[in-house]
A and B are shown apart, each in its own frame.
Chain A
Amino acid sequence: MITKRIIPCLDVRDGRVVKGVNFEGINDVNDPATLAKYYSENGADELVFYDITASHEGRRLFTDILTKVAQNVFIPLTVGGGINTIEDFDRVLKCGADKVSVNSGAIKNPSLITEAAKKYGNQCVVISADVKRVDGVFTVFSKGGRENTGMEAISWIKRCVDMGAGEVVVNSIDTDGVKNGFDIELLKLVCEAVNVPVIASGGAGSTEHFVKLFKEIPEMSAGLAASVFHFGEIKINELKKELKNNGIKARI
């Protein structure tokens, strides 16, 4: 049977990996190519790269680095950040990305999802949603979690899947950076609403949090995290052994 996937996420700005805590107070961690190779050799099932660069120069640096990573790393690579048009899809796919993650770009122009799915296949289009509770309602935020769109999250995610997204990354802003565990309540609702793979993001602080995620939501396909992996607080190989010990299928 298919395994649960463990996915380190690398936020890249101006060619360097960074990670924000609650999206603020970003500090440098390491070189993307080095980290990517380290992860692929140490049990990561996939890698996600988010380009959080704003400038053209930074974007060029990003695609250079992506090309370098993709030439040496042979596990699936997902790229996100600044994806607003079909040309953006084309740009990162040519540099070795396997899947492309859209967030604010899909909020601005939802038909981008359908257009991309038709051109590259559903498996290539990942919808990424930043979600936060506002007056008790799960609400979608855009622009890296800064802007409230006013849209209810579950219906937005469902709509994206209906339009052709083949995978969903759900990032809970409420649990992100807090290291108190994944947002089980939110993730359960998403898994019930869609029948494509769902990737949990935001809140992983320990191995137990991953065990709890997959035990409480058996349909969950993958768990994603950044700083806990980058700083070595969780070693992926050990995490997978622990999953296996708990009867959760993992690639070892």
Chain B
Amino acid sequence: MIAIIDYGIGNLFSVVSSFKYIGADAIVTSDPEKIKECDRILLPGVGAFEDAAKKLRETGLDKVIIKEAKAGKPILGICLGMQMLFEKSYEYGEHNGLGLLKGRVIGMQGVIDEKLQIPHIGYNDLIFKKNHPLLKYINEGDFVYFVHSYYAVDCDDSLVAYAEYDKDITAIVAKDNVMGCQFHPEKSGEVGLNILRAFCEMETVK
């Protein structure tokens, strides 16, 4: 059973539908007991970092997620949910994330070629940096759907795949059982569903 964390951020319709479509059991919950019972966690998120971080702290879900992650439970963050896994974000100020991954989240504005459109919207191809079980059913060069204006940097050895948009844009990160996708696997056609399938097969890291 997958716990899709409900912290009042964004639209969970597609994430829920995609797990249902691939035949995985998932529940949308904010109940720490239920999260504990599930064998994996999905952290979604669309919107502003500060808001989302605040909501996780206010609900105490930050501590629950950190505890489960440290216990080795597979956890996947999507889009803003991925960004939340890092130490810090510089989206409108400086905000602390969950600190499960080393690195920080910065804006594209003023960093990437000013002729390029921001947000980075559309399908971009993945370039693999290292192997990881999450890539089991996909290939280098596969396209995934991005919608974002901020991206993670200084991720060191957790960088699994990136996409080129003037700069190397962090696309997939993973360190042991803690994983994240900057793009939306639930909106990337069969490639995205295959990433979710691989996530559903991952086992708890002891």
Partners in one complex: yes
Binding site for B on A (CB under 8 A): 1-3, 5, 40, 45, 70-72, 74-76, 93-96, 98, 121-123, 166-167, 195-197, 219, 221-222, 251
**What are 26 A-to-B residue pairs whose CB atoms are below 8 Å?**
A1-B125, A1-B164, A1-B165, A3-B122, A3-B123, A3-B124, A5-B122, A5-B123, A45-B122, A70-B14, A71-B21, A74-B17, A74-B18, A74-B188, A74-B190, A74-B192, A74-B193, A75-B189, A76-B145, A76-B187, A94-B11, A98-B187, A121-B46, A167-B121, A196-B117, A251-B143
**Total residue contacts A-B, CB cutoff 8 A:** 79
Which 8 pairs between the two chains have the least Cβ-Cβ distance? A251-B143, A251-B123, A71-B17, A2-B122, A96-B13, A3-B123, A123-B147, A2-B124
Besides the contacts A74-B186, A121-B47, what 9 more A-B pairs have beta carbons closer than 8 Å? A1-B164, A2-B120, A2-B122, A40-B189, A70-B17, A74-B17, A74-B188, A96-B13, A96-B17
Known: A2-B165, A45-B123, A251-B123. A71 touches B20 (CB 8 A): yes
A128 to nearest B CB, angstroms?
Answer: 16
> Contacts of A121 on B, CB cut-off 8 Å?
46-47
Assess whether B118 is interfacial by the CB under 8 Å rule. Answer: yes
- Are B21 and A74 interface neighbours, CB within 8 A? yes
A72–B147 CA distance with the chains assembled, in angstroms: 21
> Contacts of B164 on A, CB cut-off 8 Å?
1
Assess whether B119 is interfacial by the CB under 8 Å rule. Answer: yes
B14 to nearest A CB, angstroms?
Answer: 6
**Given B11, B120, B124, B187, which contacts A75 in the complex, CB threshold below 8 Å?**
B187
Residue on B nearest A198 in the bound complex, by CB: B117
A42–B104 CA distance with the chains assembled, in angstroms: 38
A221–B124 CA distance with the chains assembled, in angstroms: 12
- Are A1 and B124 interface neighbours, CB within 8 A? yes
